[in-house]
Amino acid sequence: MRSAAFRPWRSTGRTMFLDQTQRLRLIGILLIVLLPHFLRVPVWVSLFAGAILLWQTIGTLRAWPQPGKYFRAALAMMAFAAVYLAFGRVDGQHAGVALLMLMMTLKLAETNAHRDVMMLLALSYFVLITHFLFSQEIVMALFLILACWLITAAFLDANHPSGALPARVMGRRAGLLMLHGLPVAILLFVLFPRIPGPIWGAPSAGANARTGLSDTMAPGMISNLAQSDEVAFRVRFDTPPPGPQQLYWRGPVFWQFNGRSWSEGWANRIQPGPPERRYSGEPARYSVTYEPHGQDWLLALDLAESIPDGAYMDAAGSLRVRKPQYERELLKLVSYPQHNVEAQQPNRSLLDYARRLPADGNNRSRDLAGDWRRAGIDDAAIVDRALTMFRQQPFRYTLQPRTTGVQNRIDRFLFDTREGFCEHYAEAFTFLMRAAGIPARVVTGYQGGEFNDLSDYMIVRASDAHAWSEVWLPRRGWVRIDPTSAVSPERIERGVSGALGADEPLPYLARRSGDLLYRLQMRWDLVNARWNGWFLSYGPELQRDFLAAMGLINLRATLLALTGLLALFLGLLGILLLWQARPRRNSDPAQRAWEQFCAKLAGIGLVRARQEGPRDFGERVVQSRPELQSAVRRIVALYVALRYSNRTHDHRALAQAVRQFRPRSAARS
């Protein structure tokens, strides 16, 4: 005969602490709290967690018994092992969130007592914080406020002594509680000492990274990027902004060409430090809010003079950071549109490196450059010859050029198809210069930008991605040459939307149509810019500026004093609230004994309703647990006699009976 102890799926036999309405509300809140993570974790995690939530929902509606502890333990171990096998770990951002999702949903299967509900709701608050590790957008913040309100309402509902609260009452009370805490939250946010860097730390690779420039370039890469209207960064100028012809945002520079693609190569090893540079003219002072892109470069107006903390300038004059950028970041920069790089002290090794070409291929292009060189003209004149060719020949600027293949693709582009996007022109021009013996390199970044008419900042989108060339000329150094401007001057003057026709696959926002939907999108972008520029970027510098504007100049002393006063106030307030909420010791010995009796029964799942009398409660316990009949009826009789009889009774008999009453749960009995 099989023992029941070996059936791990059997019911625990407990009477649920929550009624059906409260339990369904709890499941719904848990689903809402976890919902954004369902879109981030692997599909199997979402299916696992979703199946558990569905199982618990149907089981609540049909009054199914909960599984036994062995079955629950097996599910938990299976979830733990699955996360470890999938991620190779159980901690960290992605693995930790996946494990937390599975364990929280499994916790529903043993949520019977009041403490289980409290633990699950407290964990829900913690899960809300984890969402900020993946997204800090204002939409996410609004979602978290809503979810926090729902969790607070569930706390109130679970602690209500007589069943589920009406939804309206529950929501109103939760809202009032959050409003009471709002002033303290604002004070803590504004006054608490800030630490450098993002408050949420640096997420792992890919958490926040968006589409952006790559560390290599081949035809089609930038034209694909230009078909996205995602924001790359936003700029606010403190000085008059430069004109369109000077709005070149410098990114990675490519020196090496292997016949298929361009890459940075060994330039930074040949010259590990920044190049020799001289600035002239008026500087442009501006602040840039970068969106996360997962690379180690900073886009700056060509050419940057200031180097932010934690950044450096590489051999090509581009700003780099030590680690890939996975967080939104606000930096203040200074650039000089008029500059000379390596005009006086060129690095000869770099110049030789910038003349290298593959040993063979694209022979027609090589012959054309050789003809220019044999004409006896200087390097500047050869540059003019190439630009004149692009300007006078029937070249076309388009996002949808005909394919040129890989082998001899520059020949096919220059002499056959003659249509392409900026990377085609930058690549072909740089190849021609190198074939003529002129040092040349490809620069990628962004060109132009769009001012938001509702404010004073510029939006630079992925559709503004651009590629151009730089050549080294004697006594002038590295000079920017944009062959695209020779083919399509409108690209530089009016942006990509002014250079492409209506049949090109340009995204909606990049077209800058000015219609109602476009204006609404710009208003929403303004809201996001304000959110990013103040709330998310509120670090030590902004805090110092804010307190200085408030007349609180001595930042350290002010913060210490305010923090001390706030801590003292909160401590005294907490002591007062705890004192008021302390359980009052009942002076009636019979009532104290009865409360102990009810607490013991609640521990095995038999909770007395607030309106339930002693005899009714006793009969319900006896019907549920007949083996407790003798002890329960004796205790009820003693309590009723002490409370409601006119004769004097000794309360010690009741106290002794309650002490000796040790009920066990049905699963153990």
Q: Three-state SS string across 153-169, please?
A: HHHHHHCCCCCCCCHHH
Q: Using CA atoms, how far apart are residues 633 and 295, in angstroms rounded to an integer?
A: 74
**Strand-pair partners of 287:** 236, 332
Tell me which residue has tokens 């070409």. 357
**Strand-pair partners of 481:** 469
What are the CA-CA distances from residue 435 to residues 218, 306, 363, 379, 483 (Å)?
Answer: 19, 35, 10, 12, 16
Q: Taking Cα atoms as reference points, which of 106, 144, 115, 108 lies closest to residue 127?
A: 144
- Catalytic residue chosen out of the listed positions 411, 482, 525, 598: 482
What are the CA-CA distances from residue 203 to residues 89, 95, 169, 215, 572 (Å)?
Answer: 16, 13, 39, 21, 38
What phi and psi values does residue 387 have, to the nearest 5 degrees? -65, -35
Whether residue 297 contacts residue 346, with contact meaning beta carbons closer than 8 Å, is answered with no
**Strand-pair partners of 443:** 253, 468
Q: Using CA atoms, how far apart are residues 268 and 443, in angstroms rounded to an integer?
A: 15
Whether the bond between 303 and the residue before it is cis, its omega within 30 degrees of 0, is yes
Q: Using CA atoms, how far apart are residues 570 and 559, in angstroms rounded to an integer?
A: 16
What are the CA-CA distances from residue 467 to residues 14, 274, 470 (Å)?
Answer: 69, 21, 10
DSSP 331: E
What phi and psi values does residue 324 have, to the nearest 5 degrees? -55, 150
- Catalytic residue chosen out of the listed positions 422, 424, 525, 598: 422
Count of alpha carbons within 13 Å of 103, Cβ hemisphere only?
A: 17
User: Is 466 assigned a catalytic role?
Assistant: yes
Q: Taking Cα atoms as reference points, which of 609, 599, 583 lies closest to residue 658?
A: 599
Task: Render the burial of 57-95: b for 16+ CB within 10 Å, e for the rest.
Answer: bebbeeeeebbbeeebeebbeebeebbeeebeeeeebbb
Maximum separation of any 2 CA atoms in the chain, in Å: 129
Strand 396-397 relative to strand 419-420, pairing:
parallel
DSSP 123: H
DSSP 337: S
Residues 6+ positions from 506 with CB-CB distance below 8 Å: 226, 227, 399, 463, 496, 497, 500
- Catalytic residue chosen out of the listed positions 37, 339, 424, 466: 466
Task: Render the burial of 625-663: b for 16+ CB within 10 Å, e for the rest.
Answer: beebeebbeebbebbbebeeeeeeeebeebbebbeebeb
Other beta carbons within 10 angstroms of residue 368's beta carbon come to: 19
Q: What share of the chain is helix, strand, coil (3-state, %, to 5)?
A: 50, 15, 35
**Strand-pair partners of 298:** 319
User: Is 422 assigned a catalytic role?
Assistant: yes
Q: Using CA atoms, how far apart are residues 243 and 451, in angstroms rounded to an integer?
A: 12
User: Is 114 assigned a catalytic role?
Assistant: no
Q: Using CA atoms, how far apart are residues 464 and 456, in angstroms rounded to an integer?
A: 19
Q: Using CA atoms, how far apart are residues 567 and 501, in angstroms rounded to an integer?
A: 63
Tell me which residue has tokens 């500026």. 545
The residues assigned a catalytic role are 422, 466, 482
